[in-house]
A and B are shown apart, each in its own frame.
Chain A
Amino acid sequence: MLKQWIPLLGATAVCALMSVPQAAKAEQLTLCWAAWDPANALVELSKDFTAKTGIDMKFEFVPWTSYADRFLNELNSRGKLCDLIIGDSQWVGGAAENGHYVKLNDFFAKEGIKMDDFVPATVVGYSEWPKNTPNYWALPAMGDVVGWTYRKDWFQRPEIQKEFKAKYGWDLDAPKTYDQLKQIAEFFQKRQIDGKTVYGASIYTERGSEGITMGVTNVLYDWGFMYDNPKKPYDMQGYVNSPDAIKGLEFYKALYDCCTPPGASNVYMVESADAFKSGQVAMQMNFAFTWPGLYKDEKVGGDRIGFFPNPAEKYHYAQLGGQGISVVSYSDKRDAALQYIKWFAQPQVQAKWWQLGGYSCLKAVVDAPDFKTSQPYAPAFLESMAIVKDFWAEPSYAELLQAMQKRVHDYVVAGKGTAKEALDGLEKDWTEIFKEDGKI
């Protein structure tokens, strides 16, 4: 009887052993990110990964307005939904300190992935915690920065150029300073173009998530706002609310009051792009990820659109956007997730990423001789990435952000109090948060 069972048991064991690699092949990874154009490009790109490894890719994309809420909740509850996550740059501190992300130093060393191969600002912004230390929690995945688009076709009309020069004494072109930007915005505000009333500029004013902060910081940095004393971390008095920072905030409000379209009190990426696409505004502040889509737009794209980096004032900075890709420490598929990162870091994959509409952070891609001419927006992107500065990436970033959203929106949009009161209040809020964190 036993003799009859032996071949059957043997066959079962062989099948079981053979099924192990089969199971690995049939594995599926879930990648979590925001629902936007680059995410669609990543879906396309990831098909190569599936073809190469047999690992299926599933995607969980959430609209920007609920992106942070949704995924921070997921990480805080130690959920296993995401194996890989492309988390916002400001999450890195909290995710590292709370153990949500896998530390990648050993993996990078083993696989020969060098952070020196990536644009330095993106490494600091997306991967490092603590900042400026060689502790890596993400691979720079999607470079992004706030910049501007403008209606090149309007700017080039002779009658407009003539009138502008007569009024302001300089040739109408993409502005180099914020004073120039405001003059252009004032010039176009409520102007009739092709029988339609148009407006000066669309700027970020959104209250609910991070919009107005991502907008106002571009101006504040240029006027001299600093997060803290460079020699004494978390000492913010006179840096956050310096006289120059106050002037910067007053400028942002003046720009909002004089030169934005009616009803622009809650504008972020989508609304700003819509204002530009519908031909309402002469200039638009937005993250660089919107540029490929706008360039392809039938009504305002092609020769009609121009791109320029954030203008300068006393200083020259731009708000960093973008994200790094991390492995979620609660995932059961850590090895496969690391395999994806290894694949994604390859130069040829990064080159294809840029071609499909993603913004690669790999030096080999952005420093390539033909990069600047590869797309009309490439020079503005490169110039912008060289001047980036980011918001706090502390574990308590959400609270710090919320305080700024409230203080700035109350002043700029609701017109409550003065710029000095807003920044003094912000300095007080932030000091309290850091005191609670035990950092002061």
Chain B
Amino acid sequence: MTTSPHTYADKAAEAAVRATPEPLARRVRALSDKAIAWLFIAPTIALLLAINIFPLFWAIYLSFTNYRANRPNAEVKNVGLGNYSRVLNDPDIWASMQTTAHFVFWTILLQTVIGFALAYLIDRKFRGHAFWTTLILIPMMLSPAVVGNFWRFLYEPQIGLFAYAVSFLTGIPTSEIQMLGSVSLAPWAIIIVDTWMWTPYVMLICLAGLRSIPDYIYEAAEVDRASNWRQFWSITVPMALPFIMLAVLFRGIENFKMFDMVNLLTGGGPGSTTEVASIALKRDAFEAWATGRSSAFAIVLFVAVFGLANIYVKALNRVKQR
């Protein structure tokens, strides 16, 4: 006689029911599906509340006070909108916002153009394309701390390979190629490193977009005798656009809060030339210990990123619906 697996499962279930103490079984039976669902998501919600929502509300509360984390015994006073007014009228903070905008604009532009171009090339499926794809992806797999440190060495005017390469190509002495110490070059030094590191990420998303375009559309275009140029602008770009926009969104949010790379490469210098908003915020919060004011600054940044991201997502959805 053979026993089917189904019978085994039934027997096991019956055994489990018998083994469950009656009071517990009664309680479990009494729970609705909704209650069980809540039971499963409750730990996640508790964690989210503890490490995301509560700190956010706490920061909002602090932003209306004169609280300083290095003066635990000082009286905490309500200052109303004073911190917000100070943040919004501080020329240094606006300068750091401009630096951030410059950084975000150029990194996104370069990463999108180069990333899409690379994806377009890789999508041709030439010989060895898998090897080249892997090679191109390596920079984004590295830790930003590692990247920041080794680029600092590469940029060294006396021993850095970057300076040697530029000197070889241009004839300018290596000692005059001061990427991190020069006011005009330091912002570009960071843009180059970020572009080197994150272009592969944009490429990957664009590649997914390009590979999602069905072949029959190109075949139909060829039947209609559309040129490659026409196919590119009328099929490839519009159909890959939602993916490109998604990549821009991800990189935009990431670069808006860029900290590690800038901190490692220039520390915000020379002077305040590369002091992006996150560096300015860190200095205000953990060096000047102006906790209330820096909370207001953080909220302003949060609202700016959240607001811009929302507008952008709406635009993205509109593009997707077309």
Contact = CB atoms under 8 A, between A and B. Distances in A.
Nearest to B70: A76
B269 A413 contact: yes
Question: How would you classify the secondary structure of chain A's contact residues: helix, strand, loop or mixed?
Answer: loop
B270 A265 contact: yes
A356 interface: no
B178 A98 contact: no
Nearest to A69: B286
A208 B280 CA distance: 11
Interface in A327-343: none
Contacts of A261: 158
B219 interface: no
B269 A98 contact: no
Interface in B151-188: 155-158, 174-176, 178, 180-181, 183
B261 interface: no
A277 interface: no
Interface stretch (B4-12, B36-44, B287-295, B311-319): B287-295
Contacts of A401: 287
Interface in B223-274: 263, 266-273
Contact of B183 (A73, A266, A280, A415): A415
A262 B70 contact: no
B304 to A, nearest CB: 23
A78 B271 CA distance: 34
A208 B267 contact: yes
B178 A402 contact: no
Interface residues of A, number: 35
A35 interface: no
B70 A94 contact: yes
A19 to B, nearest CB: 37
B26 interface: no
Contact of A402 (B71, B181, B287): B287
B288 A264 contact: no
Interface string A266-287: 1000000000000010000000
A409 interface: yes
A98 B71 contact: yes
A416 interface: yes
Nearest to A403: B288
Most buried by A among B70, B71, B263, B289: B70
Contact of B181 (A265, A398, A406, A411): A265
A196 to B, nearest CB: 10
A426 B251 CA distance: 37
A410 interface: yes
Contacts of B273: 414
B287 A398 contact: yes
B73 interface: yes
B72 interface: yes
B297 to A, nearest CB: 14
B70 A266 contact: no
A262 B270 contact: no
B269 A398 contact: no
A411 B269 CA distance: 11
Interface of A: 68-69, 72-73, 76-78, 94, 97-99, 197, 206-208, 261-266, 280, 395, 398-399, 401-402, 406, 409-411, 413-416
Which 7 residue pairs across A and B have the least CB separation, nearest first? Answer: A414-B271, A265-B181, A410-B271, A208-B267, A207-B269, A262-B157, A262-B175
Interface of B: 69-73, 92, 155-158, 174-176, 178, 180-181, 183, 263, 266-273, 283, 286-290
5 contacts: A69-B286, A99-B72, A207-B267, A262-B157, A398-B70
Given A398-B70, A409-B271, A414-B269, 6 more contacts: A99-B73, A262-B181, A395-B71, A410-B272, A415-B271, A416-B271
